[in-house]
Amino acid sequence: MSKQLWVSVLFLSVILSCGTVGAKVSKGVWWWNGGDAVQPDVAERRMEFLSKRGVTEIYFWAELKKHRPEDIRRFVKMANARGMRVACLSGDVSWIRPGSRGFAVIWEQYLAYQKTAAPDERFYALHLDVEPHQDEKLDDKRKWQLYADFVLRVAADVHSAGEKIEWDIPFWLDNKHVAYGDRPDAPLLELLFDCSDCLVLMSYRDSAKAMLDVSKTELEMAAKRKTRIVLGAETGNTGEGSIVTYFEEGAEKMDAELAIVVKALEEAKVPGGAGIAIHHLGCWEKLVKASSKKE
């Protein structure tokens, strides 16, 4: 381990040293192709890929309106049988806009599904990917305040129904402030930690050191709360710069770097639990395939 990386890992251990022993570090994956729910053979093959690589949870783009409930129930049950729990992945930036009923529709469908599903067919959480920075029509302050208000409403609805809520968030929210409670200028991250069961940080960098470095603020906050935190890794050719993704490094290098991240999180003993996640299944499969051809 390099001196610089050792310093990063040591820093993480120190800032979280007050934490109690958390659960085993989870390994998640974004699975965006909802159509796989109606193709048992495809779903089984892809689950075998994930199972071999130690995945414990899936963020699945479940198209509750488009596909039959029995197909989704079968998919979730199949995953659970392989030791992988499933969250219902959804989200759209337009949901934060005043008057939008986008989330309300999804929420109604989610509750209806959970009500009729058996215990091993239910989603363990609602996993939302709502990224306000993608809305180019709203000014910065306005969009983040709308997002904060949306997060508060969603959390209230989800928790009152006895369900859990997870959010995908970028790693650069440190300087975002919103009106929260009786505070006119509160850190957005504080609100997110207070309202969420899990935050999945898009810590998209191509080394363990860089992933840990960009996650320092969130990990410091996780040390003082019971919110689970997950660090995400990118595998696609995103066109956003080589430092963002493991696309150039390949699957073996990514595995080695993520092993270091996992070790750091295990040693940190994050109170609410911690994990890593891969974005996303389709690109990960291609990365593994490309790496195997080089051998």
pLDDT in tens, 188-210: 999 999 999 999 999 999 999 99
pLDDT computed for residue 203 by the predictor: 98
- What mean pLDDT is predicted for residues 227-255? 97
- What mean pLDDT is predicted for residues 236-240? 96
Match 């783009």 to its residue by tokens.
Answer: 61
The per-residue DSSP string of 100-154 comes to --HHHHHHHHHHHHHHHS-GGGS-S-EEE---GGG-SSS-HHHHHHHHHHHHHHH
Asked if residue 20 has pLDDT above 60, the reply is no
* Nearest Cα to Cα of residue 211 among 265, 166, 273, 280: 265
pLDDT in tens, 29-86: 999 999 999 999 999 999 999 999 999 999 999 999 999 999 999 999 999 999 999 9
Query: In which band, very low, low, confident or very high, does the pLDDT at 295 lie, cut at 50, 70 and 90?
Result: low
Asked if residue 159 has pLDDT above 50, the reply is yes
Q: Using CA of residue 210, residue 213, residue 218, residue 221, what is the dihedral sign?
A: positive
Cβ count within 10 A of residue 290: 12
Query: 179 vs 15, 162, 270, CA distance in Å?
Result: 28, 27, 28
pLDDT computed for residue 4 by the predictor: 53
In which region does residue 181 sit, left (phi positive, over 0), alpha (psi from -120 to 50) or beta (all else)?
A: left
Q: pTM value?
A: 0.93
pLDDT computed for residue 265 by the predictor: 98
Asked if residue 183 has pLDDT above 80, the reply is yes
Asked if residue 137 has pLDDT above 80, the reply is yes
Asked if residue 12 has pLDDT above 90, the reply is no
Burial class (CB in 10 A: 0-12, 13-18, 19+), 210: middle
Q: Using CA of residue 272, residue 281, residue 48, residue 85, what is the dihedral sign?
A: positive
Query: In which band, very low, low, confident or very high, does the pLDDT at 11 lie, cut at 50, 70 and 90?
Result: very low
Asked if residue 142 has pLDDT above 80, the reply is yes
Asked if residue 14 has pLDDT above 50, the reply is no
pLDDT computed for residue 22 by the predictor: 45
Query: In which band, very low, low, confident or very high, does the pLDDT at 25 lie, cut at 50, 70 and 90?
Result: very high
Cβ–Cβ < 8 Å for 288, 249: no
What is the Cα–Cα distance from 90 to 107, expressed in whole angstroms? 10
% of the chain residues with pLDDT over 70:
92
| 3-state SS assignment for residue 245 | coil
End-to-end alpha carbon distance in the chain: 25
- What mean pLDDT is predicted for residues 173-183? 97
Asked if residue 13 has pLDDT above 80, the reply is no
Cβ neighbours of residue 81 under 8 Å, at least 6 residues apart? 120
More confident residue, 14 or 164: 164
- What mean pLDDT is predicted for residues 244-265? 98
pLDDT computed for residue 23 by the predictor: 66
**Amino acid (one-letter) located at 128:** L
What is the rounded average pLDDT for all residues in the chain?
A: 93
Domains and CATH numbers, the chain: 25-294 (3.20.20.80)
